[in-house]
Chains A and B, each alone.
Chain A
Amino acid sequence: MAEEKIQEQFDTEAILEVRNLRKCFPIKKSFTGKVKQELIAVDNVSFKLKAGETLGIVGESGCGKTTLGRTILKLHESNGGQIIFEGQDITNLKSSEMREIRKKMQIIFQDPYSSLPPRSTVGGILSEPVEVHNIVPKSQVKDYVLDLMDKCGLRDYYYERYPHEFSGGQRQRICIARALSVNPKLVICDEPVSALDVSIQAQIINLLKKLQQEMNLTYLFISHDLSVVKFISDKIGVMYLGSMVEFGTKEDIFANPLHPYTEALFSAIPQPDPDVKMNRIILKGDIPSPANPPKGCRFHTRCPKAMDICSEVTPEYRDFGNGHCAACHLLNKD
Chain B
Amino acid sequence: MEEITKNEVIEDTVEDEVPHDKTVRLMSPTRMVVRRFFRSKLSIVGLIMVVGLFIFSFLGPLIYTEWGEIELDESGKTEYSISETTYTVNGEEYTIRQTTEKSLKDNFLAPPSKEHILGTDNEGYDIFVRLMYGGRISLIVSFIAVFLITILGVILGGIAGFFGGAIDNIIMRLCDILICLPGVPILLIISTILDASGIDAKYRIYLLMIYLTFISWPGTARLVRGQILSLREQEYMVAAEAMGYSTSRKIFKHLVPNVMPQLIVQMSLSLGSMILYEATLSYLNLGVKAPYAAWGTMINIISTNQDILQNHLNVWVPAGICIVIAVLGFNFIGDGLRDALDPKARR
Contact = CB atoms under 8 A, between A and B. Distances in A.
Interface of A: 70, 73, 75, 98-103, 106-107, 109, 111, 114-120, 128-129, 132-133, 155, 157, 161-162, 165, 167, 175, 178, 182
B100 interface: no
B10 to A, nearest CB: 15
User: Which of A117, A157, A162 has its CB near the most chain B CB atoms (within 10 A)?
Assistant: A117
Given A119-B29, A161-B26, A133 B244 contact: yes
Nearest to B236: A117
B239 A115 contact: yes
A7 B239 CA distance: 31
Contact of B234 (A98, A114, A128, A165): A114
Interface string B242-270: 11111001000110011000000000000
A129 B244 CA distance: 8
Contacts of B234: 114
Interface of B: 18-20, 22, 26, 28-29, 234-236, 238-246, 249, 253-254, 257-258
Contacts of B242: 73, 75, 102, 106-107
B243 A129 contact: yes
A109 to B, nearest CB: 5
Nearest to A111: B235
A98 B243 CA distance: 10
A114 B238 CA distance: 10
Nearest to A103: B244
Contacts of A99: 244, 246
A6 to B, nearest CB: 28
Given A107-B239, A161-B26, A117 B254 contact: yes
Contacts of B245: 128-129, 132
Contact of B235 (A100, A109, A119, A120): A109
A103 B26 CA distance: 33
B26 A165 contact: yes
Contact of B238 (A103, A109, A129, A162): A109
Given A132-B244, A157-B22, A167-B19, A115 B235 contact: yes
A118 B246 contact: no
B118 to A, nearest CB: 47
Contact of A162 (B28, B235, B244, B257): B28
A99 B248 CA distance: 14
B36 to A, nearest CB: 16
Contact of B249 (A73, A101, A132): A132
A120 B22 CA distance: 20
Contacts of B20: 161, 165
Given A103-B244, A107-B239, A178-B239, 6 more contacts: A102-B242, A107-B238, A109-B239, A118-B236, A132-B246, A162-B26
7 tightest Cβ-Cβ pairs between the two chains A and B: A102-B244, A99-B244, A115-B235, A114-B235, A117-B236, A107-B242, A129-B243
A129 B235 CA distance: 16
B347 to A, nearest CB: 13
8 contacts: A73-B242, A100-B244, A107-B239, A109-B238, A115-B238, A116-B236, A129-B245, A178-B239
Contacts of B19: 167
A115 B257 CA distance: 16
A162 B240 CA distance: 17
A123 to B, nearest CB: 12
B81 to A, nearest CB: 70
Contacts of B243: 102, 106, 128-129, 132, 178, 182
Nearest to B254: A117
Contacts of B235: 109, 111, 114-115
B257 A119 contact: yes
Contact of B236 (A103, A114, A167, A182): A114
A120 B245 CA distance: 16
Contacts of A98: 244
B238 A155 contact: no
User: Which of B19, B234, B238 has its CB near the most chain A CB atoms (within 10 A)?
Assistant: B238
Nearest to B240: A117
B148 to A, nearest CB: 25
A82 B250 CA distance: 28
A58 B74 CA distance: 93
Contacts of A118: 29, 236, 258
A114 B19 CA distance: 21
A120 B253 CA distance: 10
A189 to B, nearest CB: 13
Nearest to B30: A119
Nearest to A109: B235
Nearest to B28: A162
